[in-house]
Structure 1
Amino acid sequence: MAVDPKKTFSDKEIEERLKIELPKWRLENGWIRRTYRTSSWKGTLMVINAVGHLAEAAWHHPDLTASYAWVEVRLMSHDAKGVTERDFQLARKIEEFLSWRPGSEEGSALAGTPEGDLRFAYIKHD
């Protein structure tokens, strides 16, 4: 069944879906939002670039607000004037990408950055 890219969801539908699919995201002022905490400006820029890459590939563009140690991602389909399936799909992809932790799979050769060394700190996982 094809998804209608312009179908918007009610606040109640959005809240229900966020609770199940994206529990760290919230609905506020017509946008679904998530704030990612980082360890430094370097981590903030890495988050912005990762979100930018995913959004450009999906041809759906979030609003971003950033400071030294955080990035807020806001999604709403401007053309539909509300939250649509595109917003949920891009939010899930962003969450999956930014929440991935190297070394979490047994036997993985990808160990991740050294723990406790702030020179390599990136995202503060919640």
Structure 2
Amino acid sequence: MTERREGVLDDDVIVERLKAELPHWRYEDGWIRRTYKTASWKSTLMVINTVGHLAEAAWHHPDLTASYAWVEVRLMNHAAKGVTEKDFALARKIEEVVAWQPGAEGGALEGTPTDQRFAYIKYEH
């Protein structure tokens, strides 16, 4: 039997919560993960900086892997050695900010143009 540290969520709870709360995220190898597809290196850097800002503000630090047109975000509470409520809270905030589509809301903020020269995130619906 594996000892669970206080606050670490059980695997089955993590999987069910991801399905219900963060459907674009997955649970793999002890981390909750999300890969954001971007339009270019510039967009990739914007996602990395956004995630970095949110993580620092939350005093929680994800692992990131990036390439030209994607960023993978991995969350696991290093101190607790497992996925906790803190990981879910940060994942929700990252998702809210990075996947935000102002053009879909209407109003004064129109969102990025469809012209590939100005593309940002490849939004998943």
TM-score w.r.t. the length of structure 1 is 0.92
Q: Deviations along 1:62-109, whole A, 9 cap, x unmatched?
A: 000000000000000000000000000000000011111022223x11
- Identity percentage over the alignment? 73
- Secondary structure in 2 aligned to 1:18? helix
Q: What displacement does 1:53 show?
A: 0.5
Once the two structures are TM-superposed, the CA of residue 113 in structure 1 deviates from its matched residue by 1.9
Distance 2:111 2:18 in 1: 29
| Corresponding position of 2:3 | none
**Cross-structure match for 1:81:** 81
1:72 alignment partner, SS class: strand
Structure-1 separation of matches of 2:46 and 2:17? 28
Contact preservation (8 Å) 2:103, 2:112: no
Instruction: Supply the distance in 2 between the matched residues of 1:10 and 1:62 (Cα, whole angstroms).
Output: 20
- Determine the C-alpha separation between the residues in 2 that align with 1:45 and 1:64: 11
Q: 2: distance between equivalents of 1:101 and 1:20?
A: 21
Matched with 1:30 is 30
- TM-score (normalised: structure 2): 0.92
Q: Which runs of 5+ in 1 are unaligned?
A: 1-5
Return the alpha-carbon distance in structure 1 between the equivalents of residues 90 and 48 of structure 2. Answer: 14
Counterpart check, 1:71 vs 2:71: yes
1:125 aligns with: 123
CA distance in 2, matches of 1:10, 1:79: 16
**Equivalent residue pairs, number:** 119
* Amino acid in structure 2 at the alignment position of 1:96: E
Check whether the contact 2:77–2:84 (CA below 8 A) recurs between aligned residues: yes
